[in-house]
A and B are shown apart, each in its own frame.
Chain A
Amino acid sequence: MKLNVTALSIILVAVVSYGLYQLSYEVQRLETDLGVLKNNISENKEDLRILKAEWAYQNRPDVLQALARKYLPLLLIAPYQVASIDNLPDESTVVSTLDVPLPRLNPKRDYAAPVKIPSGSIQLATYSSPGETQ
C-alpha cells in the first residue's frame, strides 16, 4: 500500500513535471513565433507605406498628362462629345438606312467561317465561351 502510494506519487510528479516542461517550451516557441510574426507585420506595413507613396508619386497628374499626351490620341472633352443615354439613336435608325459605304471583306484574306447567329434574337458580346447557353 505504502509502496503503491509512493510509486504513484513519483509517477505523478514525473508526468506533471514532463507536462510542465513541455508547456514551458511550447510557450517559449510560440512567443518566438509571435515575435517573428510581429516583425513581419511591421516590415510589411513599412513596405506597404513605401509602395503606396511610390504609387502616388508615379501617378502624379502632371506625369499622367505627359504620358497621355505622348501615347494616347486623346484631347480634352468638348461639350458636344458628352451625351446621355437618351441621346442615343433609337433602333429604327439602322446602319443600312444611312448613306455610308459598308465595310467589305478583303478578297486577298482567308476568313474563318462566320459563326451562325441564332435567329430571332440579338446576341451581345459576353465573356462566356462560344456555344454556352446563358
Chain B
Amino acid sequence: MSELTWLSRSTRPRIKLTTSFRLRNTEDYPVALQLEGSAKETLEQGRNRLVIAGVVFAFCFVVLAGRLVGLAISGTGSEEQTVSEDGDQRPVTYGNDMRAEIKDRNGVLLATTLKTASLFAVPKNVIDPKELAAKLITVLDDMSEATILSKLASARNFIWLKRNLTPTQQYKINALGIPGLYFRSEEKRFYPMGALVSHLVGFTDVDNNGIAGVEKSFDAQLNGSAEVPARDVELSVDVRIQHALRDELSRHMSVFRAIGAAGMVLDVKTGEILAMASLPDFDPNRPGDFSGDSKFNKVTLGVYEMGSTFKTFTLAMALDNGTVSMEGGYDATKPIHKAGFRIRDDHPKKRWLSVPEIYMYSSNIGAAKMADDVGPKQHKAFLAKLGMLDKPSLEIPEIGAPILPPRWNSLETMTIAFGHGLSVSPLQLSSGIGAIVNGGVYINPTIVRRDKGSVVTSRQVISAKTSNAMRRLMRLVVEKGTGSHAEARGYLVGGKTGTAEKVEGGRYKRDALITSFVSAFPMDDPRYVVLAMLDEPKGNAETHGFRSAGWTAAPIVGRLIARIGPILGIEPVDEDSDAVQKAMYVHINSREKKLASF
C-alpha cells in the first residue's frame, strides 16, 4: 500500500516515508520514502542493476527481432529438419526407396515393385463372422466360407486373411464395410511378362531380396543403399524376339514330345543376348509352385555334349592353322578304331571326303582325322581361346562350368572334334559360333543393354579369311547338307546340326538324344546367332520317324528366323541373285563317282 516515487535527477534523491495512522484513508496520503547516506547508495546500486538487466533483455529481444526479420526476408532456415522430423508425412521420394524396375532393351517392364494391400482380421472386433465370410467370398472367389470361418475362430488377435490383394479387390472389400477387417500395406515384386523371361529375370524371396537371375546379380543396384539410390536395370533382351523364340520352342517341344528345349539369339557384333529361353519354365510371380527342374536354366547352367556343332570349331581350327585347305580332305571310307572305341559316320559316304563335304555330310571320321592332324595341344589351346574350357562370365548367377575330359590326348581330341567328351553350355557354344562367323572376334556375351557406339572388348581368335570360309561352309549345310530344314528364304541362314546321345551315369543313352542347331544369319554379313536345342525329341510321321537335329531342331531355327528377321530389321535378299551366289560360293572338290550319262 505504498508508492515509490522517483524524483528528477536535479533534486537530491531521497525517499520520503510518511506512515499513516488511519489505514482506511491510505490513498489520500501518498507514501514518500526519503533516504540518505548508505541507504541512498544501496538504492543507487539497485537502480544500476535494474538498468543493466533491462539492457540485457532489450538486447536479447533485438537479436530475436533481427533473426525474425532475417528469416522473413531470406526465407531460409532449418526448415527441412522440422519436416523430416514430422513422422506423419511420407517422404516425397516415394518409389525411390522401393526396389527398382527391370526393363528390356525397348523399355518394356519385366519386373516392378507394387504396393499392395493385405487383408487381416481382428476377430474380437468382428460382430458376425458368418456374415463376414458370406460377404467376403463374393470378392475373394478363391477362398471358401469354411476357411474364412475357421480362420476367424482362432484365438489370436491378428489373422491374415489374404496377402497382396489387387486394387479392385481392396476397393470392393472396403465397399463391403465390414467391421473387424483391416488392410496393411506391403510391397510385392510383380513380373508382368510372367514366364516369358523367367530364367533371365529370376525372382525374389518374400522380403524382396533377389535369389535368382538378374534379381540376384543386380540385387545391390536394384535395392540401392543410403548413399546410392536404386537404379533400374536395362537388359539386352527384346521381349518380341524372346516371345518368338519361346513360342517356337514350345511348339516344337510338343510336336516332337521333347522333355525340354532351350534356345537363344545373340548379337554377334555386340555380344548382347536378345533372347534366351529354357523350357520348361516357371512363373516368377509364384516360383514356389514350380519344380526345381523348371527353374533350371538349360542355356547357361546346363552343360551338354553338343555333338556335330563342334565340327564348326574343328574346321575353323584346321583351316586357320593351315593343316588342311578347302580343297583338301580325308579318307572316310572306314570307321576309325582307337583304344577300343569305334568312330563311325551317321551318314556314311564310304569314300574320300573334301573339307566342305566333311562339314556338309557331318562326317565324324573326317573331323576326327582333321583334329588329330592339328594335335591335342593346339586343339585345347584353340578351344580355350573360344572360351569353351572356362566357366563363362555372364551377369546371372546360374552359370555352369564346362566338363573337361580327365586327360586330353589323341583319342579325346578325336572325339571332341565331333562334339563328344567335352560338355559345354549352349551359351558357350553360341558365343563361340559368334566369334567364328563375325570375322573371328570373340566378344563376351552380356545380358545388359550396350549403348550404341560403346566400346566392346574383344579378342581375335581366327583370321577374317577363315571366318569368311566358315560362313560359306555353314551356308552350304543349310543349302545342300543336313540343315536344309532351317532355310528361311531371303535371310541367308547358315548353320550346323548337332545330334548327341545323352550321357547318363557315365554311359551314352541310345534312346535319348540332345539335338541342337546353331546358326547365324544373314550369312553374307552375320548379325545374329540363333541356337535351338531339344532335349529327348521323338520322331513323328512328319519326320519319317527321324529325330536327328536336321529334322527336329533345324525347323525351329528356320521358322524363328523368318519371324524375327523383320523385327530385327534384316533386309531379305534374293538368294538366287548372282551377287549372293558368288558371295556364298564354295568349291567342292568332290571325288564322288558320278553316274555316267549317255
A53 to B88, CA, bound (A): 28
Query: Looking at A49, A60, A80, which has the most chain B CB atoms within 10 Å of its CB?
Result: A49
Question: A41: which B residues are within 8 A, CB to CB?
Answer: 92, 94
CB–CB A82/B114 < 8 A: no
Would A20 and B167 count as touching, CB distance under 8 A? no
Counting CB contacts under 8 A, is B566 at the interface? Answer: yes
| Distance in angstroms between the alpha carbons of A30 and B404 in the assembled complex | 71
Q: What distance in Å separates the Cβ of A31 from its nearest Cβ neighbour in chain B?
A: 8
Contact of A53 among B72, B190, B243 (CB under 8 A): B190
- Which A residues are CB-close (under 8 A) to B86? 35
Q: Are B167 and A61 in contact, with the CB atoms below 8 A?
A: no
Which of B48-56, B192-200, B310-318, B578-586 is the interface stretch? B192-200
Contact partners of B90 in chain A: CB under 8 A: 38-39, 42
The reply on B68 being an interface residue by CB < 8 A is yes
Name B488's closest neighbour in chain A (CB-CB): A79
A94 within 8 A of B: no
B114 touches A56 (CB 8 A): no
Check: B112 CB closer than 8 A to any chain A CB: yes
The answer, among B91, B193, B489, B571, for a CB contact under 8 Å with A56, is: B193
The answer to whether B112 touches A52 (Cβ under 8 A) is: yes
A95 within 8 A of B: no
Closest to B96 in A: A45
A23 to B240, CA, bound (A): 59
- A-B CB contacts (within 8 Å), total count: 82
In the complex, how many angstroms separate the beta carbon of A67 from the nearest chain B beta carbon?
13
Interface size class of A (residues with CB under 8 A): 20 to 34
Name the contact of A61 in the complex, choosing from B89, B196, B562 (C-beta under 8 A): B196
Contact code string B458-490 (vs A, CB < 8 Å = 1, else 0)? 000000000000000000000000000000111
Known contacts A35-B88, A79-B572; 18 additional CB pairs below 8 A are A20-B68, A39-B89, A42-B91, A45-B94, A49-B112, A49-B113, A50-B114, A50-B167, A56-B109, A56-B192, A61-B196, A61-B244, A65-B243, A78-B562, A79-B562, A79-B565, A80-B490, A82-B490
Q: What are 19 A-B interface contacts by the 8 Å CB criterion?
A: A34-B83, A38-B92, A42-B95, A45-B94, A45-B95, A46-B94, A46-B95, A50-B167, A53-B190, A56-B108, A56-B109, A56-B193, A61-B244, A76-B563, A78-B562, A79-B490, A80-B572, A82-B572, A84-B571
